Chain A
Amino acid sequence: MHHQFRSPEGPIEVTVAKQGDEWSLGGLSTTVMADGRLRIVGSDGGISFGHVAKVGDVWWVHTQGHTFKLERIEPGATDTDDGGGLTAPMPGKVLDVLVAAGEVVSAGTTLMVLEAMKMEHRIVAASDGVVMAVHFAAGDQVEQGVALLTLDES
C-alpha cells in the first residue's frame, strides 16, 4: 500500500507490500503483534520493536529510543504552506508587539513577545521580509496555531 508523509524537505512516499502476515519495504520486514506493537526485522536480521499511536493525522512512532511524528497526507489533500505566517506556538497572551504593518525586518528580529505558562516567548522573523499584517495587539489572548503576523519574505 502507498502512503505519503509530510517532512520539512517535502512529502515522503512509502510503499509497503504484504505477504501473509508480513509487510515488507526494501530489506525491512514487519509484523503486527497481538498487543498492537510492531516487530521490525532489519536488513541485517536485527529485531526492533515499534510502538505506534495515531493522533489526528499524525502517526507517532517509537523505536530504538527515538520518537517520530509522521503526519500522513490524506490522498487528494493539497499540500498547503502557511505562506510566511508566524503562528502562536502555545496558547497564551500577547505581551508586546514590536513591529507594525509595512515595516521591513531582517531575519532574527523579534516581532512579538508572548507569555505562556508564565514564561516569555519571542516570536522571531525566520527570514528578511516586510510585515504585511499584525493580527493581535498587546493584551490579546491567542490560541495555539493561530497566525500572529503575516510576513512577506523577500
Chain B
Amino acid sequence: MRGGVSMVRKVLVANRGEIACRILRACNEAGLPSVAIYAENDASSMFIELADEAVLLTGDTIGETYLDQEQILAIAKSTGADAIHPGFGFLSERADFARAVGNAGLQWVGPSPEAIEQMGDKMTARITMRAAGVPVIPGEEIEHEDEADALAAIEAASHRVGYPLLLKASSGGGGKGMRAVHAPEDLIESAKGARREAIAAFGDGRVYLERLLTGSKHVEIQVLADRHGRTIHLGERECSVQRRHQKVFEEAPCATMTSELREAMGQAAVAAAEAVDYEGAGTVEFLLAPTGEFFFLEMNTRIQVEHPVTELVTGVDLVREQLRIAAGEPMSCGPLMMRGHAIEVRLYAEDAANNFLPAIGPLAVFRPPEGPGVRLDTGVREGDEVTPNYDPMLAKLIVWAPSRHEALQRMRRALDEFVVLGTTTNIRFLRELCDEHEVITGATDTTTIDRIWPNGWQPTVPRAVEDMALMAAAVAESAGLHRKQSMASTGGQGPPSPFETIGRRFP
C-alpha cells in the first residue's frame, strides 16, 4: 500500500468521547461519510450524534467492546467503511490491530504496524533511537519477564543508573506502570508496584530504568509524514506541568525555546520518524534539561490529546492532514509558520484537593466559556452522567492569543466563566495554576506541581465569595429552585410547544 494511492471514502472511528467527536467533525468537514461504534453505556453519548451511522458493540467490558478487534473489523465490513481512525488510547497503538486492518483490505489512519511496534515497545524504541543517533536518557533496559529475575536485574542496574531514578513499563504510557524512586530502600516495593500496574494495564510487566532528570522540561515535537517522501516537524509543545505523570497544562510554543534549539529538536524528531519509515501524524517526546541538552523519551504513533495547541499556532488541521495522508495524498501544509501562543488545559472529573481522585456524578450544569480565542474540545454536554467506566477527562479548553502573556490572561478569563455543577472538577486548580509564578514566567518543569504544592493542593477561597455561595444555596433552597429544575428536566416546564397550543398533528 505504501507509495500507492488508496482512496478513502468512508471512515470508521474506533474510539469514543472527546477524540471521537474531534475526528467525526473532521470527517464531516471533509465530506467523508463516517461510522461511530459505541458500547451500550455510551448509547446516549454525544459522539454518536456526530456520525452518519452508529453501530452498537455487543459486550460489557472495554475488552469486549472498544478493544474487540474482530467485532470492529466486522462492523467496518458491514457498513462499507474503507478506513479506520483509532484516535488515541484504546487500539491506537496496537500494531496487531493496524496489521489486521491492512490485511482486511482497509486503510489504517496512522503509521505502519512495524513503526508502531518499534516505537510502542519503549525499550525497543530506545535501542532504535540510539542507532539513529537520537540522544536517549541514560538508563538500562530489563528484558526479564519473571518477577524474581526482573527484580534482581533491576536491583543490579539501579547501582549503575544511580538515584533518583524512574521505573517505566516498556509497554507503558499515561503514567501507568511508572514509579519515581528516590532511595534504594524503596526500589523493590516500587518495582513490584510498577510491574503489577503494567501487567494489569498492558499484560506486560517488563520495566526499564531511566535516570530521573530533575528540573527538566517535557518538550515534544509534532511530526507529519506522507507517502510522497515528505517528513516535517510542526514545532514544539511544552507539557511539563503534570500531576501523577499526566499532563494538565500544555502550550505552544515553549516559553524558553530558541529558534536554534527548535531546529535541532525538530531535526532529531524528523530523524526519529524517518528511522521507522513513519507515516501520518506523530509526536516525538523529549526531556529538555536546564543545560539545553535534550533526550528522546518516546514517540507516540498517533494523534495526541494536546494536538490543538499546535493547530492553533501553526494553522495546520492535524486530523484533516491524517485523513489526507491516509488517502495517499500529499500533506497540504507549507513551510512551518508559528504565530501567537496557545495554551490547553485538561478538565478532569477529579478532586484536586484530595490527591486528584477521580470523581463521578451528573453534569447538572455544563456551561463552557465562549468569546474570542477560545476553543473547547469535549465529548460531553449538560445532562450527561460522568461514570467510572472511562477516562475522567471531560474536556480540553484551549485558548489562542497573540502573546503568551495574553494567552494566560485569556485562559484565566475562560476558566472563570466555565461552570460545571454536579461533578467535582479540577477547574479551580487549573485557574490557580495560571497565577503561579513559575507558570507566569514559563519556568515550569515536570516537578512544578509537586514543588508548588508539596502537601497537595487546597483551594484559596476569599471569605466574601464563600459567604455569597452560602447565601446562594440558602436562597435557592428557600425559593424552591430545585423543584423548578427537576420539573424542567422532566419536561414539566420550559417554553410551551407551539404544536401543543395549535393542536397540529403529524401526519
Please list the residues of chain A having a beta carbon within 8 angstroms of any beta carbon in chain B. Answer: 1, 3, 5, 12, 14-16, 18, 23, 25-26, 28, 30, 32, 36, 38, 40, 42, 48, 50-55, 59-70, 72, 89-92, 95, 115-121, 144
Contacts and interface: CB of A to CB of B under 8 A. Distances in A.
19 contacts: A3-B478, A16-B471, A16-B475, A23-B474, A30-B471, A36-B481, A38-B472, A48-B468, A52-B421, A52-B476, A53-B365, A65-B415, A65-B416, A67-B420, A72-B477, A90-B360, A115-B200, A116-B388, A144-B388
Nearest to A38: B472
Given A23-B479, A61-B421, A120-B197, 7 more contacts: A38-B472, A40-B471, A50-B468, A52-B473, A61-B469, A65-B431, A90-B360
Interface string B357-383: 110111011010000000000000000
B391 interface: yes
Residue among A51, A60, A91 with most chain B CB within 10 A: A60
B75 interface: no
Contacts of B431: 65
A42 B466 CA distance: 12
Contact of B367 (A51, A66, A70): A51
Residue among B416, B421, B424, B428 with most chain A CB within 10 A: B421
B240 interface: no
Contact of B422 (A25, A60, A72, A144): A60
A136 B161 CA distance: 40
A70 B469 CA distance: 8
B470 A67 contact: no
Contacts of B175: 119
A63 B473 contact: no
A138 to B, nearest CB: 11
Contact of B358 (A54, A66, A117): A117
Contacts of B365: 51, 53, 60, 62
B472 A40 contact: yes
A55 B364 contact: yes
Contact of B421 (A5, A18, A60): A60
Interface string B253-281: 00000000000000000000000000000
A89 B472 contact: no
Contacts of A14: 470-471, 473-474
A120 B468 CA distance: 38
User: Which 8 residue pairs of A and B lie closest in terms of their CB atoms, listed nearest first?
Assistant: A65-B416, A54-B482, A60-B421, A53-B364, A59-B473, A68-B469, A50-B472, A53-B421
B465 interface: yes
B484 interface: yes
A70 B461 contact: no
Contacts of A117: 358, 388, 391-392
A20 to B, nearest CB: 13
A90 B350 CA distance: 11
Contacts of A3: 473-474, 477-478
Contacts of B237: none
B428 A65 contact: yes
Interface string B399-432: 0000000000000000110011110110110010
Contacts of B468: 28, 40, 42, 48, 50, 63-64
Residue among A5, A15, A30, A116 with most chain B CB within 10 A: A30
A32 B473 CA distance: 12
B485 A69 contact: no
